[in-house]
Amino acid sequence: MREDVPALSEPTEHDVAALAASRRRLVSEALGIAVSATGFGFVFGLSARDAGFSPVEAMAFSTIVFAGAAQFAAVGYVSAGLPWLPILVLTFFLNARHLLYSASLAPRLRGVSFAQRAAMAHGGIMAGEYLDSLGKTDLAQLSVEEWHTLIEVIVTGYCDHLRDLAGHDRNRLHNMEDPMPF
């Protein structure tokens, strides 16, 4: 329980048990994502090493690029001896699909605040990580339980991001010298 906000009521045994179960499930799902990310990192590291990258270069590449397919394509281009300009152009076009996604979503997101759009993006990232942990890309192949978990992951990511933003705003308000007029 948070200690900086007073509880509306004392937690019951059921509340404590539900919180413990929720935390166990969170750890279990996080481990699934960690295993998937570790496997991806291992395979990418091997590919980068074969292309002549040092471990530091491979880690920097993963940190900067952060686009699975583009990372592997760029490593393949480097190992084939392609110059950097064509590599940049080809990986740009590989990731250009995200521009089309954005263009199709833009009309639906008019009037939505930046904070809400950022929270939606965070929920989408969490959903992508969950799907990666399953090793599935075709949503039609998801079981009913996997669909439930996917929706839960999206909503949780969205709410967590909004909660973080609210916490930052509260901290900023507490640090102001002049009291707010409302």
How does pLDDT run along the chain (182 residues), one tens digit per residue?
556 666 666 767 777 788 888 888 888 878 877 887 788 888 888 888 988 889 998 888 888 776 777 888 888 888 888 898 998 898 888 888 778 888 888 888 888 888 888 888 888 888 888 888 888 878 888 899 999 999 998 888 888 888 887 776 666 555 544 444 44
Residue 65 lies in a domain: yes
**Statement to judge: residues 136 and 73 lie in one domain:** no
Of 43, 65, 95, the one marking the end of a domain is: 95
Range of the domain at 24: 13-95
* Statement to judge: residues 72 and 127 lie in one domain: no
Number of domains in the chain: 2
Instruction: Please report, in angstroms and rounded to a whole number, the separation of the first and last CA atoms in the chain.
Output: 29
* The pair of three-digit structure tokens given for residue 155, joined into one six-digit string: 């909503």
Identify whether 17 is part of a domain: yes
Considering the entire predicted model, what is its pTM? 0.48
Listed residue (133, 170, 179) closest to 29, CA to CA = 133
